[in-house]
Amino acid sequence: MMETRRIDRRVARTRKSLHRALISLILEKSYESITVEDICQAANVGRSTFYLHYTSKDNLKRSGLDSLRRELTDKTISRQAGRRHGIFDFSLAMFEHAGDHIELYRALAGGRGGAVALGTIRQILSDLVREELAVRMNEASSEAIPHELVVQYVVGAYMAVLTWWLDGGAKLPPERIDAIFRRLAMKGVTTGLEPRKS
């Protein structure tokens, strides 16, 4: 049992090291030009160790982003528990995650090479908002704002607020910036959720 726990910790450490190596390389150069060899050198592991865990650099990238998606989804679900009318439940979870990894997010937000990772983060948030709004938006109204436009509006605004917050050193606590974002976004979105009265 002890041995299994030790192996599990070693596996987790190796995977974390490989994820960090990939992110640091994305910030230095284009994702397309990164090789498995580059990742192994940056993580200080052998190629055989890499292939024990991942089939390719794409598989490594997906794994890291899947981990973020799971974490945000889990936190969102736990916040929704016991509340009937929560909206933008992804928001605080994402601010907390970014606050816990501020140097990484600031580098991604400011670096050209971070576009790949930021694009995927944007996609994760879009999926979460899409799922949340699907439950709330009135499908029957022909005058309602298109769902996808609302998703892009919310995520675009969120990414702008997140970038502003990180650029300023994330001085406001996650709970405060979350409350500000919700206040700014809520009125426009809730108006779009309801059909117009004739």
Mean pLDDT of the chain: 79
- Mean pLDDT for 103-121 is 67
DSSP output for 56-116: SHHHHHHHHHHHHHHHHHHHHHHHHTT-SS---THHHHHHHHHHHTHHHHHHHHH-GGGHH
> Quick one: fold of 1-54?
Arc Repressor Mutant, subunit A (1.10.10)
Question: Tokens standing for 2?
Answer: 């002890």
Name the residue with tokens 């490989």: 18
For the ranges 104-113, 137-146, 158-167, the one whose mean pLDDT is highest: 158-167
Burial (CB < 10 A; 0-12, 13-18, 19+), residue 194, is: middle
The pLDDT tens digits for 52-90 are 999 998 888 878 777 777 878 777 776 666 554 467 888
Question: Tokens standing for 99?
Answer: 């606050």
- Spell out the domain ranges in the chain: 1-54, 62-193
Look at residue 103 and tell me whether its pLDDT is greater than 80: no
Q: What is the CATH number of domain 62-193?
A: 1.10.357
List the Cα angle 97/170/108 in 5-degree steps: 60
Look at residue 137 and tell me whether its pLDDT is greater than 70: no
Helices 36-43 and 2-28 meet at what angle, rounded to 10?
Answer: 120
- Mean pLDDT for 95-115 is 71
Give residue 31's pLDDT.
Answer: 78
Residue 93 CB neighbour total at 10 angstroms: 22
- Mean pLDDT for 160-173 is 89
Give residue 89's pLDDT.
Answer: 81
In angstroms, the CA 21 to CA 43 distance is 5
Residue 136 CB neighbour total at 10 angstroms: 14
pLDDT band at 32 (very low <50, low <70, confident <90, very high): confident
Look at residue 142 and tell me whether its pLDDT is greater than 50: no
Give residue 198's pLDDT.
Answer: 46
H or E stretch at 21: helix 2-28
Give residue 185's pLDDT.
Answer: 87
Name the residue with tokens 């436009």: 149
